[in-house]
Each structure stands twice: as C-alpha cells, then as structure tokens.
Amino acid sequence: MVAHLMRMKLAITVNGWKRSTLQLVMSIFLIAYVVFVLAMWGVGAAFLPDLEVQWRGTVLTLVGAAAVLGWIVVPVFFTGVDMTLDPANFATFGIPSRALVPGLALAGLVTVPGAATLIAYLISSLAWRDSLPALLTAIPAAILGALFCICVSYAVTGLLAAFTGRRRIREIVSIIALVPLMLSGVILAGIVDSVEAAADRLPGIAAVIAWTPLGSFTAAPWAAAEGRYGEALGQGLLCLAWVAGAVWLWQLAVDRRYTQVRGSGPATRTSRAGLGVLGSLPGTPAGAIAARSIIYWLKDPRYSASLMVVPLMLVLFWFLGAQSGDYSLMLFMGPITGFMLGYAISADIAYDSSAFALHVTAGVSGRDDRVGRVGALLLWALPLTLVLTLATTWMAGAWDLLPGLIGLAVGALLTGAGVSAVSSARFIYPVPKPGDSPFATPEGSAMRMMLVSLGAMVVLGLLVLPELILFVLALLTGDMLFQWLTLVVGLGLGLLVLWLGIRWGSRWFDRAQAETYQSVLKFA
Amino acid sequence: MSLPDSPGAPVGTDHPAPLPTAHPGAGVRELPDPHTAIAIRGLAKRFGEKIAVNGISLDVPAGSFYGLVGPNGAGKTTAMSMATGLLRPDHGRVWIHGTDVWEEPLAAKRRMGVLADGVRLFDRLTGEQLVTYSGLLRGLDRQTVAERTADLLRVMDLSQDAGKLVVDYSAGMTKKVALASAMIHAPKVLVLDEPFEAVDPVSAANIRDILAQFVASGGTVVVSSHVMDLVQRMCDHVAVIAEGTLLAAGTVDEVRAGKSLEDRFVDLVGGRTNGEGLSWLHT
C-alpha cells in the first residue's frame, strides 16, 4: 500500500515532466535551489559541534520550530498543498482513511519539500556527532519530525478545506489559525527588551518550545546530550504523540472529505429569489460581467480567501502598534491593500475555468470583458482602499502624510488593476478549480504560478516606482509639495496604466479568444 | 507529415451509402448558400502528431435536426468546437447561415446557441442569475432578458429551483439550465455536444420535446451522441465520423440504408470484437 502510493506519486511526477518540458526545467531549478540550501545548512551543521551544547540545542530547537511553523503557515497563506494524491480520488476504492493517511504521509516524503525536510533534519543530527546518546536520539526524532511536518500541513489545510462549504466557519477558523502567529509577535515584543537581553533569554525560550510540537523533534537530542535522559525520553514520547495527533487530525479531514464526495457537496443552501447584484448593475454585457464578478467575490471561497488577508493585516499592525504605542506601521495598510487588491484579479480568466466557454460562445468583446472584471474590483476596492487609508492615517495621527498616502494607495490599486487586465487575458496558468480548496496547488504548477506572479509583481513594482520615489522624497524633505505631487502622479499614472492595460488586454482577448479558452481548458 | 490543403475525398468512397449533402473536396473559395444553416468546408485540426479532424466538409440544411455520431475520440467534439468558435481550425472554414465563424465571429455567434460538453457553468450563480447573465452578455435589453428567462425556466421545469445555486443542481437540471443559457438570444442554430449524457430519461424526453419544437418553428439543431437509437428516432439527418473523417452523411434513412442505424454504424466504423477473452469473468 505505502510502496504503491509512493510509486504512484513518483510516476505522476515523472509523467508531468514528460508532458511538459517547462515543468521539467522548473523542477530542475527547484531541486537545484533546494540542494543549494541543503548544502548551506550542511556546512552550518558541520560547524555546530564547535558551539557549547546549550547554544547548539537552542539554535537547533529554534530552527526546527521555524521549519514546523513554515510547514503550517506557508501552505495556508501562500502556496497551498500538493494535492496530486487527493484522498477524494481514493473514495471509490473503499480504503479506510486509517490505512490511507499513513501511506499518503510516507508518500509525502518523496516530494521535493518532503524529501528536503527529511534530509535537513537528518543533516542537523550531524551536530550531535560528538555525543552518542544524542546522535541515537536525533536520527529517529529527525524522521518523526519530517513526518510530522508533512502530516500537520495536510491536516491544517485539509481541515480548513473541509469547512469550505460553510464559508463563515472557515473564515473564522483561518483567523483563529493566525492567532498563534500574532501571539508570537506579542511574545517576542513582550519578552525581548534589547538584543542582548534577547540573546540571554533565547535558551529559556527554546527550553519552553522543546515541550511543544514545534520543538520536541530537535530538542530531544539536546536533552540527551546534556545527560537529562528522563527529559529526553519525555520529549521522545511527545514526538510520537505529536505525529499521532497530526495523523489523527489529517484522518479527520480526509473522513470529512470522503463523506462530502459521497454526498456530492454540502447540503443545499438557502435559495434566494431575485437577481441580486445582477439586477442592480447596468444591464449591459460589461455590467453583467461586473455583477457576476462581485457575486463571485462574495460566494466563491477562492476569491473571498484572498480578501481575508486585509482584516488580518489590519489586526496584526494594530496589535504591533498597541505594543509599542507607535501606530505609524499602520500607515502601510493603505498602499499595501491597494497593491494587493489591484493584483488580486491577475488570474481572473483562469479562475473561471471552463465556464469561460460562455464568454467565448456569447461573443463577448474584449472591452466588455476587461471593463466588467476591472470595474467589479474597483467598485468596492477603491472605497475600501480610501477608507483604510483615511482610518489608518487617523489612527497614526499623521494627517500631513494623507495626500501622499492616497496617491500611493490609489496609484497602486489602479496600476495593479491595469496590469491584471493584461495578465489575466495573456497568461493562463493552473489555479485551484471552482469548488476546490483555495489552499490546493494544482499539480506541477507551483513554479509557473510563482514565475508569472513574480513577473507581474516586478512589473507592478516598477510601474508604481514614480509615486513611491516622490513619497519617499516627501518623507525625507518634509515638503508638502512632494505630498501633492505623489497624489497627482499616483492618480494620473494609475489611470494611464489602467487605460493602457484595458486596451492591450482587450486587444489580446479579441485576437486570441479561442486560444485563451483552449489554454484554460487544458488546466480545467 | 502534412495535412491536405484541399482535402481529397474525406468521405469513404468504398462505402456505398448515398451522400447527397456532403461535398467531398468542395472548393473552399465559393460562398455557400446562406440558407444552409451550417456549411463546413475542409475543416482540419492537428494536435501534435495526432490528426483529430482530417478534412471534413458537410452541409447542415436549415430546419434540420442533425445527429453527429461516432466512436469515442472520433473528433466530434473537436469538430464542433471549431464550428462554434471555441477552437481555431488549422484548415477549412465554417459558415453559419452564410457568415464565416472565424472572420465575423460576433455576427456568427449571435446566430448560434452552443452547449459544449463537459464544460463548467458559472455555478455560484442561481439558475435564474445564470440564464439572465447569458442573456445580458449577448447584449439583450433587461426587459427581454427577464421575459425570456422566466419562459425558459418554466419550459425547462426549473421555475421551482430558479433561486437555487447551479452548483447544487442535479446533472439533468444542469444540462437544462445550460440549454436555457444557450437559447436565450433566440439563435437560429443550436449546436449541442452530448446534450443527453448523464440526463435522466424524463429530463431527456423534456429536452427532446423542446428541441423538436425549436426545429418545428424553423430552427436548426445539431446534436452529437453515442446513443444510436436516440439519433435514429429523434434526428432527420445524420453524419457518421470516425478517426477525424466523415464516413457518411445524409438523411437518416439514406445513411442507414435499410438497416438499423446502430448496425450501419458498426459496419462503417468497424472495430467489433467477437466477445472472446476475459474467460476468467465467466463464473
């Protein structure tokens, strides 16, 4: 069973390479990068025995904790998890999740991140090569640690996805999931007074983390090296318990998904009469597209999930401000929100999936399509960005920065919308399908997705550079003239980029409608 | 490997079936009669090494109920995608009532209602919203869209579920609401890829009635299907496609030449095995 799943995972990866050379090249780059990082870590770990035991343990425990946190946070907020072996695909085989999940966990070790984590853990045990008991503890703990990372990341994303049907609950869960992250900031801010004091306290912090799922895997050999065999045993048992717990949570998520597959989705939603937004926006093609986009922003978890980041960031910045009593960090909110929201529709057509066929067969013009989608975004994103900018300026009491901040925030939003108007028509890449978890990465797409979004981000960054430079000048000189210049340039340049983006996007859309649809279909 | 520029005899000449409406190797230059609902000349498409559609020429007369049959992977969906503006052909042209699909796409698409196979709908909309959306996309005014949406939902027996999200619809309801979206702009021609797949018999019968009425009022319907019986009963014309080539086309009676359509189809396409093998399956 386990061998089967691992072989299947490998076969799917290799077939992906055969199908697309680009994917192969991407994978080679990724693997080369990972090998480089591992080599660096190996060099570091080789020098660790020069440190005294306490510091060695502290460093390893904290790095281990960061790795575990990474496995939890990165999939939820950035990449999603690899769903090549989606448990839902096994629903018809009647394999109990008790047998399936451990198999999937071990199969996770043959993915690039899984294998890299295992190797990194094993390399870290080299740091204990001068103490036999520690080395003997480190190796099994390393294997358990890598397994725990895989299981916990699938468990967290799986449980979040299991609640996709009930959007409210899912949003609340994700917000709660961020609480530990925010608390970590508070803990650091609360405990750390100065860098020196921090350095003294790190071993203490590590000693506490050692008893949590974040640290047990790397802390157990530390205890063994110091001859605290009782503690080492306790932490070793905890390691087993953490892995068992993560497997159990993952099973829970899989079981929920099984029942969803069998019952084909969540129970019927309350039916609502009337057309909703579709009835209130203008009855033109562009108006209809805008209305449909707005409905999707509200009803499709893939869109609403990307919205969640805004209130989370607000809370986080406010918290940090409350800690230090200086709310100037909050001033970033407006421009960052504008930047993110403008960029949010950069894969709009890919998100339609094959439903985009309706736009093709209905003969929608590029202008209507572009204007509708961008209009839907600006309709709520523009007021939201403005209100956020005003509110954060008020909280920070920095009214003299308001013109520049508005110029920067609205400029970033308009420029982002303009860039998206081109990129969503021009670059189709795999995105989570409708109804899928917003946290799933489509097979073999991570690198391509990252390249396209990185490219778009760089272009976007370059295009907002003029107002950014003006704003920085305003901050440095304190001259109000630069504030107003930022406002004028931000709005003017933003509108220009938006207009050009819609023009180019429309032209491409009209010329290559069928080709665009075919590439969407390829990933559907 | 090169594709035939002006495909020579795409219709199997070794088959005795009469082929009154197929135009083997017809010149691509001449404009077809605008009364012909769909005119296809030398349509071809290649995906890498595989030739999916190998030069098909076909006339679908206005007011006909045309069936398109062929084994899996015969190129039906590819051909229909090229005829409806979803896939750009490598060669050949398609006219809808005299309008070239790839030269005047907007005008051609106004005359066409399309139901593509296995395609998602905007299923986070309610049934009523989806049909309305489809109407507004085509530039109809709000009043007309509202009237037709109500009519279509009533005829499709979806009025009760108009406020339900399409994602919660059953397979049959989904096909019906997709059909309603394809008909709201009162097209002259309906091109439907596998409209009866995964549809229960009652819904299928209802859809069939709606299509028959559409044809009776002068519209043209092209359906692709695997179910020969259905095509024989429902359609008045039929075309048989296999391996990207048109094997036979004409009225159903002409093509089946006295046999049942299914037997004739197997004759044309071949590939029947004599049921041996799988000895372990016999208990």
Spell out the domains of chain B, with CATH numbers in brackets.
Answer: 9-111+188-269 (3.40.50.300), 120-186 (no CATH)
φ/ψ of residue A101, rounded to 5: -60, -45
Token pair, residue B186, equals 């009162």
Distance separating alpha carbons of residues A347 and A345, to the nearest angstrom: 5
The structure's pTM equals: 0.72
Q: Which residues of A touch B125 (CB under 8 A)?
A: 278, 292, 295
Decide if A455 touches B, using CB distance below 8 A: no
Decide if B77 touches A, using CB distance below 8 A: no
- Considering only CB atoms, B136 lies closest to which of A288, A354, A524, namely A288
What percent of chain B shows pLDDT beyond 90?
A: 47
User: For the CA atoms of A409, A415, A419, A420, what is the dihedral angle to 10 degrees?
Assistant: 50
Longest dimension (CA), chain A: 77
Q: Which residues of B touch A369 (CB under 8 A)?
A: none
Cβ burial, residue A52 (10 Å; 0-12/13-18/19+) = exposed
The angle formed by the CA atoms of residues A424, A439 and B174, to the nearest 5 degrees, is 70
**SS3 at position A478:** coil
Per-residue pLDDT reduced to its tens digit, B88-109: 999 999 999 999 999 999 899 9
Cβ-Cβ contacts under 8 Å between A and B: the total is 121
Confirm if A249 and A97 have CB atoms less than 8 A apart: no
- Whether the complex's predicted ipTM surpasses the cut of 0.95: no
Cβ burial, residue A101 (10 Å; 0-12/13-18/19+) = buried
Contact between chains at A360 and B164 (C-beta distance less than 8 A): no
Tens place of pLDDT per residue across chain A (524 aa): 778 888 888 888 788 778 777 778 878 888 888 899 889 888 888 888 888 888 888 888 888 888 888 888 777 665 566 666 677 677 677 777 777 888 888 888 888 888 898 999 888 888 888 888 888 888 899 999 999 998 888 888 777 766 654 444 544 555 555 555 555 555 555 555 555 566 677 788 888 888 888 888 888 888 888 888 888 899 899 999 999 999 898 888 887 766 654 444 444 444 455 788 888 888 899 999 999 999 888 877 777 766 766 777 777 777 777 767 777 778 888 888 888 888 888 888 988 889 999 999 999 999 999 999 999 999 999 999 999 999 989 888 888 889 999 999 999 999 999 999 998 888 887 777 776 656 566 655 666 767 777 787 788 889 999 999 999 998 888 888 999 999 999 999 999 999 999 999 999 999 989 999 998 888 76
Token pair, residue A371, equals 């204007």
Contact between chains at A357 and B109 (C-beta distance less than 8 A): no
Distance from CA of A515 to the nearest CA of B (A): 7
Distance separating alpha carbons of residues A55 and A222, to the nearest angstrom: 10
Distance from CA of A311 to the nearest CA of B (A): 24
Any idea which of A187-201, B19-33, B237-251 has the lowest mean pLDDT? B19-33
Decide if A89 touches B, using CB distance below 8 A: no
In chain B, the DSSP E strands lie at 36-47, 50-61, 65-69, 91-96, 99-100, 112-115, 189-193, 220-225, 237-242, 245-251
Distance separating alpha carbons of residues B190 and B210, to the nearest angstrom: 12
Contact between chains at A361 and B139 (C-beta distance less than 8 A): no
Give the residue on A whose Cα is nearest the Cα of B184.
A362
Which of B45, B123, B125, B191 best tests the A interface by mutation, with the highest count of A CBs <10 A? B125
Give the residue on B whose Cα is nearest the Cα of A273.
B163
Give the residue on A whose Cα is nearest the Cα of B140.
A284
- Considering only CB atoms, B122 lies closest to which of A274, A284, A355, namely A355
> Residue A79 has what pLDDT?
58
User: For the CA atoms of A22, A27, A29, A32, what is the dihedral angle to 10 degrees?
Assistant: -160
Contact between chains at A285 and B139 (C-beta distance less than 8 A): yes
What is chain B's alpha carbon radius of gyration, rounded to the nearest angstrom? 19
Look at residues A397, A392, A363 and name the one whose alpha carbon lies nearest to residue A513: A363
Distance from CA of B50 to the nearest CA of A (A): 15
Longest dimension (CA), chain B: 65
Q: Which residues of A touch B132 (CB under 8 A)?
A: 275, 278, 288
